């Protein structure tokens, strides 16, 4: 049951094949069994069981709230959840219990979803590995998959060889990939949803900026943050997006226009589609395996009649630097509120109020956060503002224009890699610092955030090592439905294999009725 898609399990609930409480308990038990993944910071067991009970009542009375009623979901721990600790994986917010729900959380709950818990991340979502949070790194479930382990030498199977999930929403990715929930919320500022989705073999969706409310999402970069969606298939993403999208008076940047829930047709004709391949995304660091999958995916579109053309996004190479300047600047101001006065950590230092502020922030933030605050404050100094912040804003405008030009030339969707390579072992990952890793890992993803476009990472194949590889599709602003439609088509063509975690499940709860074990058609 847990291996099913959200849509399938929703149907099962409606038909009474399973009750919300049974489903909830199964997930809770699996969460316990996969505790070593460190996917969850907080497991909201009591809340979830109570929600399941209420959902069960509704089903019994034939008053189901819809597709999400009784569906276990998880939420990244940088979304405010009323009555449930929200930490951002930081000492600064340890013990902080918000009095309100983020709009997206509220929308899920209003639909009857069961909140299983809050998922792990890099501190304040600053990172690309989910390795830099105060609760420790998240382990990629694929480290323990049959597909990966079968291809390892025996000496590489030790406990220290586990892989990172990518980040910063690695906890949400691991939670969905290990079947402890059917959908999870992440956030995506520079790729934080798409990157771990690619590494964990999931669909990771970043909606258009302004489509989904950020109210209650603890901000990283206000002009780029969006709530992201993790599911195991595109249809499930469309269901969740249908619930989340829409104007929110508490987020002035959400669009006012009424939003229709996305309708993804079962059959799609791609022959009228024009797929753009941005030539600047072919970088030397790209693994040859991913490069070849990318080109085979392009061929796949072409073979079905789509027009596939090379396009140029000439300012791509400046994007990551520009992103870092803007990100640090916003971080510097967004983090100003954490002073130990009103909530969260407060240092015992009591020499003076100023000393208390300083000690609170020294103790509360990790090096990565403090580093970004420091550089952001540098960029915003009067004498530096023009040279850094304003220049970065100008470059951002050029990057936006690059995308506009590409779409204006007739391209419907851009096809790119999501990451440079598949997931690496933790010990390998931490050889470089957070900044270097972020610069490498966000390379294909952050430009989309700068332009506010919708993008989705679709798992397309397993690498030679048996690890998932995702490709990214980028759509026109607010053409999220079209993008998901194309994503679904690609998903259908590639037949990405389901993760084989049976070895680790002693009670066989993951026996997958519909398990598709064929290898990907792209490999």
- Interface pick for other proteins out of 37, 52, 71, 88 (rule CB under 8 A): 88
386 counts as binding other proteins under rule CB under 8 A = no
169 as an active site residue: the answer is no
Among 69, 77, 235, 339, binds other proteins (CB under 8 A): 339
User: According to CB under 8 A, which one of 37, 259, 332, 477 is a site residue for other proteins?
Assistant: 332
SS3 of residue 114 by DSSP? strand
Question: Could you say whether residue 394 binds other proteins (CB under 8 A)?
Answer: no
Asked if 158 is part of the footprint of other proteins (rule: CB under 8 A), the reply reads: no
Say how many CA atoms lie within 13 Å of 112 toward its Cβ: 21
Query: Which residue, 229, 218, 107, is CA-closest to 172?
Result: 229
Binding other proteins by CB under 8 A: which of 319, 334, 438, 449?
334
Among 84, 174, 197, 217, binds other proteins (CB under 8 A): 217
Q: Is 173 helix (H, G, I), strand (E, B) or coil?
A: helix
- Residue 504: how many CB atoms within 10 A of its CB? 15
Q: Does 350 bind other proteins (CB under 8 A)?
A: yes
Q: Min. distance of Cβ 217 from other proteins in angstroms?
A: 6
Choices 45-53, 148-156, 168-176, 346-354 (CB under 8 A): range interacting with other proteins: 346-354
To the nearest 10°, report the CA torsion of 153, 500, 40, 161: 0
Q: Of the two residues 79 and 496, which places its CB atom closer to other proteins in the complex?
A: 79
Non-local (6+) Cβ contacts of 166 within 8 A are: 128, 129, 130, 140, 173, 195, 196, 197, 198, 199, 200, 419, 423, 441
Is-catalytic flag, 33?
Answer: no
**Under a CB-based contact definition with an 8 Å cutoff, are residues 174 and 37 in contact?**
yes
> Which segments within 289-394 are labelled E, that is strand?
307-311
**Judged by CB under 8 A, which of 22, 45, 85, 251 binds other proteins?**
251
189 touches other proteins by CB under 8 A: no
Q: Is 32 in the site for other proteins (CB under 8 A)?
A: no
Compute the distance between CA of residue 210 and CA of residue 244 in angstroms, rounded to an integer.
Answer: 11
352 annotated active-site: no
Q: How far is the CB of 390 from other proteins (least distance, A)?
A: 10
Cα 120 to Cα 74: distance, rounded to the nearest angstrom: 10
Binding of other proteins at residue 373 (CB under 8 A)? Answer: yes
Give the active site residue among 90, 130, 168, 457: 168
Is residue 253 a contact residue for other proteins (CB under 8 A)?
Answer: yes
Q: Does the N-terminal peptide bond of residue 168 adopt cis geometry, omega within 30 degrees of 0?
A: yes
Q: Which is catalytic among the residues 192, 213, 319, 329?
A: 192
Residue 330 interacting with other proteins (CB under 8 A): yes
Considering only 21, 29, 91, 223, the residue that binds other proteins (CB under 8 A) is 223
Does residue 408 touch other proteins according to CB under 8 A? no
* The binder of other proteins chosen from 215, 232, 324, 372 (CB under 8 A): 215
When asked if residue 190 is in the footprint of other proteins (CB under 8 A), the reply is no
Binding of residue 194 to other proteins (CB under 8 A): no
- The 3-state DSSP class for residue 457 equals strand
Which range touches other proteins (CB under 8 A), out of 302-310, 337-345, 415-423, 438-446?
337-345
Residue pair 229/166 in contact (Cβ under 8 Å)? The answer is: no
Instruction: Choose among 365, 308, 367: nearest CA to 336.
Output: 365
DSSP string, 256-298: -S--PPP---SS--GGG-EEEEEGGG--TTS-HHHHHHHHHHH
Tokens of 143: 């480290």
Provide the binding-site residues for other proteins, judged by CB under 8 A: 79-80, 86, 88, 93, 96, 98-100, 102, 214-219, 222-223, 250-253, 329-330, 332-337, 339, 341-343, 350-354, 357-358, 361, 373, 377, 380-382, 385, 389
């Amino acid at each position: 049951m847990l291996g099913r898609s959200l849509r399938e399990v929703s149907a099962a609930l409606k038909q009474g094949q399973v009750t919300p409480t049974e489903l909830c308990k199964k997930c809770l038990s699996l969460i316990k069994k996969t505790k070593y993944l460190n996917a969850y910071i907080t497991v909201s067991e009591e809340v979830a069981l109570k929600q399941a009970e209420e959902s069960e009542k509704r089903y019994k009375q034939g008053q189901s709230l819809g597709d999400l009623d009784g569906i276990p979901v998880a939420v990244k721990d940088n979304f405010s959840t009323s009555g449930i600790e929200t930490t951002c994986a930081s000492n600064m917010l340890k013990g902080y219990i918000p009095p309100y729900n983020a709009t997206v959380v509220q929308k899920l709950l209003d639909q009857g979803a069961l909140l299983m818990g809050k998922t792990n991340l890099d501190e304040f979502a600053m990172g690309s590995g989910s390795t830099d949070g105060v609760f420790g790194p998240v382990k990629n479930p694929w480290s323990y998959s049959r597909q990966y382990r079968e291809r390892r030498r025996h000496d590489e199977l030790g406990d220290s060889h586990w892989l990172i999930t990518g980040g910063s929403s690695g906890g949400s990715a691991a939670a969905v990939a290990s079947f402890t929930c059917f959908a999870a919320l992440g956030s995506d500022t520079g790729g934080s949803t798409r990157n771990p989705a690619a590494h964990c073999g999931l669909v990771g969706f970043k909606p258009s900026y302004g489509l989904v409310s950020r109210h209650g999402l603890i901000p990283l970069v206000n002009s780029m943050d969006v709530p992201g969606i993790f599911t195991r298939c595109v249809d499930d993403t469309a269901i969740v997006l249908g619930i989340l999208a829409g104007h929110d008076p508490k987020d002035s940047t959400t669009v006012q226009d009424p939003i229709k829930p996305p309708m993804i047709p079962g059959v799609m004709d791609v022959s009228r589609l024009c797929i753009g391949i941005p030539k600047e995304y072919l970088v030397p660091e790209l693994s040859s395996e991913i490069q070849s999958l990318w080109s085979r995916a392009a061929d796949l579109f072409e073979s079905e009649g789509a027009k596939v053309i090379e396009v140029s996004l000439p300012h791509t190479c400046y994007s990551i630097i520009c992103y870092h300047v803007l990100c640090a600047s916003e971080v510097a101001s967004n983090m100003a509120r954490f002073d130990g006065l009103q909530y969260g950590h407060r240092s015992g230092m009591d020499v003076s109020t100023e000393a208390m502020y300083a000690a609170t922030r020294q103790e509360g933030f990790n090096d990565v956060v403090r580093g970004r605050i420091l550089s952001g404050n540098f960029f915003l100094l009067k004498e530096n503002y023009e040279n850094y912040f304003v220049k970065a804003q100008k470059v951002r405008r050029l990057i936006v224009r690059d995308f506009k030009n590409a779409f204006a030339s007739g391209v419907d969707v851009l096809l790119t890699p999501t990451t440079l390579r598949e997931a690496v072992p933790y010990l390998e990952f931490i050889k470089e610092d957070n900044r270097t890793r972020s610069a490498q890992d966000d390379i294909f993803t952050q430009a989309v955030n700068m332009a506010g476009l919708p993008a989705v990472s679709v798992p397309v194949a397993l690498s030679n090592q048996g690890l998932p590889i995702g490709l990214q599709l980028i759509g026109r602003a607010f053409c999220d439905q079209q993008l998901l439609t194309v994503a679904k088509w690609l998903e259908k063509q590639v037949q990405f294999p389901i993760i084989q975690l049976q070895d680790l499940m002693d009670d066989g709860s993951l026996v997958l009725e519909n398990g598709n074990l064929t290898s990907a058609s792209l490999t």
